[in-house]
Amino acid sequence: MATTGEFSGAVLIAKNGRPLFSRAYGLADRERRIPNTLDTRFRIGSMNKMFTAVAILQLVEAGKIELSAALGQYLNDYPNKDVASKVTIRQLLTHTGGTGDIFGPDFDAHRNQLRTHSDYIELYGKRGLEFEPGSRWAYSNYGMVLLGAVIERVTGQSYYDYVQEHVYEPAGMTRTGSLPEDQAVLDRSIGYTRPPGTTRWVRNTNTLPYRGTSAGGGYSTVTDLARFADALMSHKLLRPDSTEQLITGKVEALGREMYAYGFEDRRDVDGHGSVGHGGGAPGMNGDLRIYPKCGYVVAALANIDPPAAQSATAWVCAYVLAPPC
């Protein structure tokens, strides 16, 4: 894949916390010919949803959040009272709240002005529900933004400070974050995308948000993602019962997959298969697959268009891992 230009990034395979394979491919900066390395920070798209869901379950364990509670119990000044009174925290975690997405003309027009979770609520908070909460599944980045706002309200910290202190640091994730795009970040790769109908790679700069949110848009490394997986499955982040609740599918989504709390559950009835989450946008793609039954972890990050990383993890899982897994 790398030799044909279909992959530029890094891949890591581990088992029971021990790396078995790790390698980087391609260029982090094509103009300056800087290669990708295992220390390269790649934008991870929606993979931040896993960190947000862990944070919510931590606060559930601490008695600060109830999954069955309505959004308005925590955001009592939320503009649309129908949304605030009907949508629960559990429904936001499972994309069944009917809260809609953030991407589209409004986002494009305000991309650089959307700097905090409150900014997103100011822009989208007056709109109504797309469907009755709990009636079906529909991917909602805005729902995950709302969870970030809830975390901020109940902890008194910024979302970024909370996940740094309670997710990244306990997991040993030293190269993961969400600093704004206008701040220099050591070893953060440049994303490259191919505009429709062309074969030319261009920077994805004009598509990026000002800053990542609780819904996605941060950056990480494959090593940090493997550390996150190990910390999660060894219960350094959540109790065993909360971890199982986090990763176990709740609602049908995306064909064969079930969606849990910020995690996709691809396991069969015998527990074989993976849990995790992917992420993708122009010039970025990532995927983390955790195999609870056999202890494998596969992480891939790319600084080119989807499905570069997800194709890599799918290939590894199909042809490298020892079945049944």
Per-residue pLDDT of the chain (325 residues; tens, 9 = 90+): 665 678 999 999 999 999 999 999 999 999 999 999 999 999 999 999 999 999 999 999 999 999 999 999 999 999 999 999 999 999 999 999 999 999 999 999 999 999 999 999 999 999 999 999 999 999 999 999 999 999 999 999 999 999 999 999 999 999 999 999 999 999 999 999 999 888 899 999 999 999 999 999 999 999 999 999 999 999 999 999 999 999 999 999 977 789 999 999 999 999 999 999 999 999 999 999 999 999 999 999 999 999 999 999 999 999 999 788 8
Kindly state whether residue 39 falls inside one of the protein's structural domains: yes
Count up the domains in the chain and report the number.
1
Kindly state whether residue 324 falls inside one of the protein's structural domains: no
* DSSP 8-state code for residue 190: P
- Residue 8: Cβ-neighbour burial (10 angstroms; 0-12, 13-18, 19+): buried
Residues linked to residue 13 through DSSP beta bridges, in sequence order: 21, 298
**DSSP per-residue codes, 192-244:** EE--TT----EE-GGG--SS-BTTB-EEE-HHHHHHHHHHHHTTSSS-HHHHH
Kindly state whether residue 185 falls inside one of the protein's structural domains: yes
Rounded alpha-carbon distances, angstroms, from residue 156 to 94, 121, 148, 229: 25, 17, 12, 27
pTM higher than 0.95, yes or no?
yes
Kindly state whether residue 102 falls inside one of the protein's structural domains: yes
Kindly state whether residue 30 falls inside one of the protein's structural domains: yes
Kindly state whether residue 325 falls inside one of the protein's structural domains: no
Rounded alpha-carbon distances, angstroms, from residue 96 to 79, 85, 93: 20, 15, 8
Residue 2 has a pLDDT of 60
Residue 256 has a pLDDT of 73
The catalytic position among 8, 46, 220, 274 is: 46
Residue 6 has a pLDDT of 81
Rounded to 5 degrees, φ, ψ at 279 are: -160, 140
**Taking Cα atoms as reference points, which of 105, 102, 73 lies closest to residue 87?**
73
CA dihedral 111, 114, 117, 119 (to 10 degrees): -130
Core vs surface per residue 291-319: b (16+ CB within 10 A) or e = bbebebbbbbbbbbbbebbbbbbeebbee
Residue 255 has a pLDDT of 74
Kindly state whether residue 84 falls inside one of the protein's structural domains: yes
H helix or E strand, kind and range, residue 119: helix 117-124
Question: What is the spatial distance between Cα 92 and Cα 141, in angstroms, rounded to a whole number?
Answer: 9
Rounded alpha-carbon distances, angstroms, from residue 46 to 28, 34, 281: 20, 26, 9
Q: Is 274 a catalytic residue?
A: no
Question: What is the spatial distance between Cα 252 and Cα 289, in angstroms, rounded to a whole number?
Answer: 18
Q: Give the domain extent around 84.
A: 9-319
CA angle 167, 172, 176 (to 5 degrees): 70
Residue 175 has a pLDDT of 98
- CATH classification of the domain holding 221: 3.40.710.10
Kindly state whether residue 212 falls inside one of the protein's structural domains: yes
